[in-house]
Amino acid sequence: MSAKAKIITTEDGSHSLYHEDLKETYHSFHGAYRESLHVFLIYGLDSWLARNPRKYPIRIFEVGFGTGLNAWLTLVWAEQNQIPVLYHTIEPFPLEKDIYSQLNYIDQNDAIWHYHKYFEALHQLPWNEGGPVSEYFNFKKDQVKLEDAQLYPSDVVFFDAFAPSKQPELWAKDLLEKVEKSMRPGAVLTTYCAKGQFKRDLKELGLDVQNPPGPPGKKEMTRAWKSENPES
Protein backbone atom coordinates (compact mmCIF):
# COMPACT_ATOMS: atom_id res chain seq x y z
CA MET A 1 0.00 0.00 0.00
CA SER A 2 1.33 3.47 -0.81
CA ALA A 3 0.42 6.93 0.37
CA LYS A 4 -2.33 8.77 -1.52
CA ALA A 5 -0.61 12.08 -2.05
CA LYS A 6 -0.39 14.97 -4.49
CA ILE A 7 2.44 17.46 -4.83
CA ILE A 8 1.99 21.03 -3.60
CA THR A 9 4.39 23.98 -3.48
CA THR A 10 5.07 25.67 -0.12
CA GLU A 11 5.99 29.30 0.51
CA ASP A 12 9.77 28.79 0.27
CA GLY A 13 9.34 27.25 -3.18
CA SER A 14 9.96 23.68 -2.05
CA HIS A 15 7.47 20.90 -2.58
CA SER A 16 5.43 19.08 -0.01
CA LEU A 17 2.64 16.55 -0.34
CA TYR A 18 -1.02 16.67 0.51
CA HIS A 19 -2.32 13.38 1.90
CA GLU A 20 -5.79 13.03 0.47
CA ASP A 21 -7.11 10.55 3.02
CA LEU A 22 -5.85 12.44 6.08
CA LYS A 23 -6.46 15.87 4.51
CA GLU A 24 -3.06 16.89 5.85
CA THR A 25 0.21 18.13 4.37
CA TYR A 26 3.55 16.42 4.96
CA HIS A 27 5.19 19.75 5.87
CA SER A 28 4.34 23.31 6.81
CA PHE A 29 2.73 25.46 4.13
CA HIS A 30 5.29 28.11 5.14
CA GLY A 31 8.16 26.08 3.70
CA ALA A 32 8.96 22.38 3.71
CA TYR A 33 12.70 22.80 3.18
CA ARG A 34 13.06 25.51 5.82
CA GLU A 35 10.99 23.53 8.31
CA SER A 36 13.13 20.43 7.94
CA LEU A 37 16.38 22.37 8.36
CA HIS A 38 15.06 24.30 11.35
CA VAL A 39 13.37 21.54 13.34
CA PHE A 40 15.52 18.52 12.63
CA LEU A 41 18.97 19.75 11.58
CA ILE A 42 19.47 22.95 13.59
CA TYR A 43 17.47 22.18 16.74
CA GLY A 44 18.06 18.44 16.59
CA LEU A 45 21.29 17.22 15.04
CA ASP A 46 23.35 20.40 15.50
CA SER A 47 22.15 20.76 19.08
CA TRP A 48 23.12 17.19 19.94
CA LEU A 49 26.55 17.61 18.36
CA ALA A 50 27.18 20.82 20.31
CA ARG A 51 26.73 18.84 23.53
CA ASN A 52 28.58 15.77 22.25
CA PRO A 53 31.54 16.81 20.08
CA ARG A 54 33.46 13.91 18.55
CA LYS A 55 31.01 11.29 19.84
CA TYR A 56 30.65 9.19 16.70
CA PRO A 57 28.87 7.59 14.98
CA ILE A 58 25.67 9.53 15.58
CA ARG A 59 22.65 7.24 15.69
CA ILE A 60 19.43 8.79 14.40
CA PHE A 61 15.91 7.38 14.46
CA GLU A 62 13.19 8.97 12.35
CA VAL A 63 9.46 8.43 12.73
CA GLY A 64 8.11 9.00 9.23
CA PHE A 65 10.47 8.75 6.23
CA GLY A 66 7.76 10.40 4.10
CA THR A 67 9.31 12.44 1.29
CA GLY A 68 12.85 11.53 2.35
CA LEU A 69 13.77 15.20 2.88
CA ASN A 70 15.05 14.79 6.46
CA ALA A 71 17.13 11.76 5.54
CA TRP A 72 18.65 13.45 2.49
CA LEU A 73 19.52 16.65 4.35
CA THR A 74 21.12 14.53 7.09
CA LEU A 75 23.19 12.67 4.50
CA VAL A 76 24.38 15.99 3.11
CA TRP A 77 25.19 17.17 6.65
CA ALA A 78 27.16 13.99 7.37
CA GLU A 79 29.19 14.30 4.16
CA GLN A 80 29.88 18.01 4.59
CA ASN A 81 30.97 17.59 8.21
CA GLN A 82 32.66 14.23 7.61
CA ILE A 83 30.80 12.78 10.59
CA PRO A 84 29.54 9.18 10.42
CA VAL A 85 25.78 8.78 10.84
CA LEU A 86 23.71 5.64 11.31
CA TYR A 87 20.19 6.53 10.21
CA HIS A 88 17.14 4.33 10.86
CA THR A 89 13.72 5.39 9.59
CA ILE A 90 10.28 3.83 9.41
CA GLU A 91 7.42 4.39 6.98
CA PRO A 92 4.38 2.12 6.64
CA PHE A 93 3.17 3.70 3.39
CA PRO A 94 6.04 4.55 1.02
CA LEU A 95 5.66 6.94 -1.87
CA GLU A 96 5.57 5.71 -5.44
CA LYS A 97 8.37 6.73 -7.81
CA ASP A 98 6.06 8.91 -9.89
CA ILE A 99 5.68 11.09 -6.79
CA TYR A 100 9.14 11.18 -5.17
CA SER A 101 10.93 11.59 -8.51
CA GLN A 102 9.14 14.93 -9.06
CA LEU A 103 10.01 16.47 -5.66
CA ASN A 104 12.24 19.54 -6.06
CA TYR A 105 14.37 19.46 -2.89
CA ILE A 106 17.62 18.98 -4.80
CA ASP A 107 17.03 22.35 -6.51
CA GLN A 108 16.63 24.41 -3.33
CA ASN A 109 20.32 25.10 -2.69
CA ASP A 110 22.93 25.18 -5.46
CA ALA A 111 25.70 24.59 -2.90
CA ILE A 112 24.47 21.05 -2.21
CA TRP A 113 23.08 20.18 -5.65
CA HIS A 114 25.96 17.77 -6.28
CA TYR A 115 24.44 15.47 -3.64
CA HIS A 116 21.30 15.15 -5.78
CA LYS A 117 21.87 11.53 -6.78
CA TYR A 118 21.50 10.43 -3.17
CA PHE A 119 17.94 11.71 -2.85
CA GLU A 120 16.51 9.22 -5.30
CA ALA A 121 18.91 6.54 -4.03
CA LEU A 122 17.38 6.77 -0.55
CA HIS A 123 13.95 6.06 -2.04
CA GLN A 124 15.16 3.29 -4.31
CA LEU A 125 17.10 1.32 -1.73
CA PRO A 126 15.35 -1.90 -0.63
CA TRP A 127 13.05 -1.71 2.36
CA ASN A 128 13.89 -3.61 5.55
CA GLU A 129 17.58 -3.77 4.66
CA GLY A 130 20.47 -1.61 5.78
CA GLY A 131 23.84 -0.55 4.46
CA PRO A 132 26.10 2.35 3.46
CA VAL A 133 24.74 4.94 1.03
CA SER A 134 27.75 7.26 1.05
CA GLU A 135 31.07 7.46 2.87
CA TYR A 136 29.60 8.88 6.08
CA PHE A 137 25.95 7.81 5.89
CA ASN A 138 24.66 4.34 6.76
CA PHE A 139 20.93 3.90 6.20
CA LYS A 140 18.13 1.49 7.04
CA LYS A 141 14.46 2.03 6.28
CA ASP A 142 11.75 -0.30 7.53
CA GLN A 143 8.26 -0.50 6.05
CA VAL A 144 6.48 -0.84 9.37
CA LYS A 145 4.29 1.03 11.83
CA LEU A 146 5.86 2.43 14.98
CA GLU A 147 4.04 -0.01 17.26
CA ASP A 148 5.55 -2.95 15.37
CA ALA A 149 9.00 -1.51 14.70
CA GLN A 150 12.21 -2.83 16.17
CA LEU A 151 14.04 0.19 17.56
CA TYR A 152 17.78 0.54 18.02
CA PRO A 153 19.62 2.76 20.53
CA SER A 154 19.48 6.35 19.26
CA ASP A 155 21.20 9.67 19.99
CA VAL A 156 18.78 11.84 18.01
CA VAL A 157 15.09 11.23 17.31
CA PHE A 158 13.32 13.02 14.46
CA PHE A 159 9.65 12.65 15.44
CA ASP A 160 8.03 13.62 12.15
CA ALA A 161 4.68 11.86 12.22
CA PHE A 162 1.50 13.51 10.98
CA ALA A 163 -0.12 15.88 13.45
CA PRO A 164 -1.78 14.50 16.60
CA SER A 165 -5.14 15.67 15.29
CA LYS A 166 -4.70 13.43 12.21
CA GLN A 167 -2.86 10.42 13.65
CA PRO A 168 -3.38 10.54 17.42
CA GLU A 169 -2.28 6.92 17.86
CA LEU A 170 1.30 7.83 16.91
CA TRP A 171 1.44 10.38 19.72
CA ALA A 172 0.01 8.07 22.39
CA LYS A 173 2.05 7.89 25.57
CA ASP A 174 2.78 4.17 25.24
CA LEU A 175 4.44 4.72 21.85
CA LEU A 176 6.32 7.74 23.15
CA GLU A 177 7.56 5.55 25.98
CA LYS A 178 8.74 2.96 23.44
CA VAL A 179 10.76 5.65 21.69
CA GLU A 180 12.05 7.11 24.96
CA LYS A 181 13.34 3.71 26.09
CA SER A 182 15.34 3.40 22.86
CA MET A 183 17.03 6.77 23.44
CA ARG A 184 20.54 6.61 24.81
CA PRO A 185 21.57 8.71 27.84
CA GLY A 186 21.88 12.32 26.69
CA ALA A 187 19.81 11.73 23.55
CA VAL A 188 17.48 14.38 22.11
CA LEU A 189 14.04 14.16 20.51
CA THR A 190 12.95 16.97 18.22
CA THR A 191 9.63 17.67 16.51
CA TYR A 192 7.55 20.43 14.97
CA CYS A 193 4.67 19.63 17.36
CA ALA A 194 4.12 21.87 20.40
CA LYS A 195 0.87 20.41 21.78
CA GLY A 196 0.48 20.64 25.55
CA GLN A 197 -0.49 17.00 26.14
CA PHE A 198 2.45 15.79 24.08
CA LYS A 199 4.87 17.88 26.14
CA ARG A 200 3.29 16.76 29.41
CA ASP A 201 3.68 13.12 28.37
CA LEU A 202 7.35 13.66 27.55
CA LYS A 203 7.91 15.26 30.95
CA GLU A 204 6.18 12.35 32.68
CA LEU A 205 8.56 10.02 30.84
CA GLY A 206 11.44 11.88 32.47
CA LEU A 207 12.61 14.01 29.55
CA ASP A 208 13.73 17.62 29.90
CA VAL A 209 11.31 19.45 27.60
CA GLN A 210 12.24 22.72 25.90
CA ASN A 211 10.26 25.06 23.63
CA PRO A 212 12.60 26.54 21.01
CA PRO A 213 11.23 28.99 18.47
CA GLY A 214 9.41 27.22 15.69
CA PRO A 215 10.08 27.37 11.95
CA PRO A 216 8.40 30.06 9.86
CA GLY A 217 4.69 30.13 10.67
CA LYS A 218 5.00 28.45 14.08
CA LYS A 219 5.65 30.16 17.41
CA GLU A 220 7.20 27.11 19.08
CA MET A 221 8.41 23.57 18.49
CA THR A 222 9.47 20.88 20.97
CA ARG A 223 12.87 19.52 21.90
CA ALA A 224 13.30 16.98 24.70
CA TRP A 225 16.52 15.68 26.24
CA LYS A 226 17.10 12.42 28.05
CA SER A 227 19.22 12.65 31.17
CA GLU A 228 22.87 11.64 30.92
CA ASN A 229 22.17 9.59 34.06
CA PRO A 230 18.58 8.36 33.56
CA GLU A 231 18.74 5.96 36.52
CA SER A 232 19.73 8.65 39.01
Task: Give a yes or no: residue 14 inside a domain.
Answer: no
* Residue-level pLDDT at 100: 94
| C-alpha–C-alpha distance, residues 25 and 4, integer Å | 11
**Gap between the Cα atoms of 219 and 202, Å rounded:** 19
18 domain-assigned: no
Q: DSSP letter at 105?
A: G
Nearest-5° Cα angle at 150, 144 to 154: 115
Residue 7 lies in a domain: no
Domain that holds residue 152: 32-225
CATH for 188: 3.40.50.150
pLDDT at 179: 98
The answer to the question of residue 23 being in a domain is no
Query: Is residue 145 included in any domain, yes or no?
Result: yes
Residue 110: inside a domain: yes
Torsion over CA of 122, 124, 125 and 126, rounded to 10 degrees? 140
Measured distance CA(111)–CA(132) in Å, rounded: 23
pLDDT in tens, 21-30: 888 888 887 8
Q: For the chain, 232 residues long, give each residue's pLDDT as a single digit of tens.
A: 356 788 999 999 999 998 888 888 888 878 899 999 999 999 999 999 999 998 999 999 999 999 999 999 999 999 999 999 999 999 999 999 999 999 999 999 999 999 999 999 999 999 999 999 999 999 999 999 999 999 999 999 999 998 898 899 999 999 999 999 999 999 999 999 999 999 999 999 999 999 999 988 889 999 999 999 866 5
3-class SS of residue 126? coil
B/e letters for 45-70, b = 16+ CB within 10 Å, e = fewer, are: bebbbeebeeeeebbbbbbbbbbbbb
- Residue 230: predicted pLDDT: 64
pLDDT in tens, 33-65: 999 999 999 999 999 999 999 899 999 999 999
24 within some domain: no
Does 25 map to a domain? no
Return the pLDDT at 1. 39
pTM above 0.85, yes or no: yes
Asked if residue 69 lies in contact with residue 37, where contact means CB atoms within 8 angstroms, the answer is no
Say how many domains are in the chain. Answer: 1
